[in-house]
Amino acid sequence: MIPGDGVGVEVTHEVVRILDALEHELHLGLSLEQFDFGAERFLKTGVGLPPGQLEVMRSDFDAILVGAVGDPRVPDNAHAREILLGLRFGLDLYINFRPCCPLADRLSPLKNKGTQEIDLTIFRENTEGIYGAIGGSFKKGTPDEVAIAEEIHTRKGVERIIRAAFQWASANGKERVALGDKSNAIGAHELWLRTFREVAAEYPAIEARHYYIDALALQMVTHPETFQVIVTTNLFGDILTDLGAALSGGLGVAPSANLNPESTPLYEPVHGSAPDLAGKGLANPVAMVLSAALMLENLGQAEAARRVREAVRQTVAEGQCTRDLGGKLSTREVGDAILERLHRAPQ
Ligand code: NAD
Ligand code: IPM
Ligand code: MN
């Protein structure tokens, strides 16, 4: 576990308590090790992700939990990129799996659209696109300054995320997969469209629909029920998953998983370090707790994952929430409420 910065420290603290309780009751055999990577260590030592850490993660760990990284004292976000993007790229975690579904009808911000209508999962490409850091600045700080950021899309990278989306859709009884790209303006995105059509042909039972990303964003708000699975680029996926979080009740409830079936997975909330809330006990721990539930499920602990989700669902249903969900509880009190319901669950 890497608690990281800001509210990351507070929300991971609640997950530790929940995992301890599950360990005690269900004897999962999980052991947790904490790493102090984040702004504090970076400011002291200049190191974000220590050398050799990727190998350690690969060989010694079955999963990584991250709270959040980002701190106003590091304005260029250098440490966060080193840690988070370092792990995503270094471990080749090409699937950023981000489900969007409200835990209760009242959490949806849309009129007459609730848990029935909003239930979609975004497959965000997670290792290339404009995040490849190809480019740079020239004549910085002068009137002639030039800044270049290039997008990388490889056939291998595009094909594997599209295939992952279809595979998951097919294994989970979904009927439709949508692609979001900008091939009408960015010629290179034609690779996405062509690959999408080719992979879709292998899944005749699944309807494949193509959208330009701007129209897709609109449709997600006006007709979210259109979507079951969305596959898209790294940057578009970053933006769409905050929108998806908004449809689910906000960043306080949106979980995610960074996956590659052959590597060590990383679980984290969609939200960041929320400097405006940090240290005040106001952060919602639910997104982090649901990210840990995704971890438990993928570690083969389906019963533990089910219990966590059910306990979270109950706290939300009963209004035992932080302010972002209309409640009055602190981060710690929401953790207590979830723990209480976990203990109440039939053994
Ligand atoms: P943010 O997600 O931290 O915050 C956006 C808004 O959502 C804020 O109003 C915040 O108060 C609210 N919010 C976030 N988490 C919440 C929670 N758990 N409960 C209730 N409300 C919550 O995004 P930002 O402000 O754009 O970024 C802050 C820092 O976090 C930046 O340094 C950014 O780079 C970093 N960041 C990190 C990650 C990550 O580690 N995965 C993700 C996004 C942003
Ligand atoms: C996310 C975040 C990260 C991203 C940032 C902090 C680099 O916004 O996980 O959604 O852009 O992927
Ligand atoms: Mn984001």
Pair (145, 78) in one structural domain: no
- Same domain for 116 and 244, yes or no, is yes
Q: Are residues 72 and 114 in the same domain?
A: no
* Cα–Cα dist 322/259, whole Å: 29
Domain extent at residue 319: 1-93+260-347
Question: pLDDT of 55-100, one tens digit each?
Answer: 999 999 999 999 999 999 999 999 999 999 999 999 999 999 999 9
Per-residue CA distances from 48 to 42, 78, 86, 88, 131 (Å): 5, 8, 9, 14, 18
User: Radius of gyration over alpha carbons of the chain, in Å?
Assistant: 20
Q: Along the chain (347 residues), what's the average pLDDT of each consecutive run of 10 residues?
A: 98 98 94 98 97 97 98 95 98 98 97 97 98 93 97 98 98 98 97 98 98 98 98 98 98 98 98 97 98 98 97 97 98 98 79
Same domain for 185 and 58: no
Whether residues 129 and 34 share a domain: the answer is no
Domain count for the chain: 2
On whether residue 225 sits in a domain, the answer given is yes
What CATH number did the domain enclosing 41 receive? 3.40.718.10
Domain boundary among 219, 248, 277: 248
pLDDT at residue number 164: 98
Answer whether 238 contacts ligand 2 (Cβ < 6 A).
yes
pTM: 0.97
The predicted structure's pLDDT at residue 81: 96
State the ligand closest to the CA atom of 251: 1
Pairing of strands 129-138, 146-152: antiparallel
212 within a domain of the structure (yes/no): yes
Neighbour count for residue 205 (Cβ, 10 Å)? 7
For the Cβ of 69 lying below 6 angstroms from any atom of ligand 1, the answer is yes
| pLDDT at residue number 328 | 97
DSSP string of 170-222, one letter each residue: HHTT--EEEEEE-TTT-GGGHHHHHHHHHHHTT-TTSEEEEEEHHHHHHHHHH
Neighbours of ion ligand 3 (CB under 5 A): 238
154 and 232 part of one domain? yes
Task: Tell me the DSSP string of 279-312.
Answer: TTT----HHHHHHHHHHHHHTT-HHHHHHHHHHH
Residues 36 and 73 in one domain: yes
Per-residue model confidence (pLDDT) at position 345? 72
Same domain, 286 and 238: no
**Residue 234 alpha carbon, nearest atom of ligand 2:** 12
Task: Evaluate whether residue 111 is within a structural domain.
Answer: yes
Residues 45, 120 within the same domain: no
The pLDDT of residue 347 is: 52
Kindly give the distance from the C-alpha atom of residue 243 to the centroid of ligand 2, in angstroms, as a whole number: 13
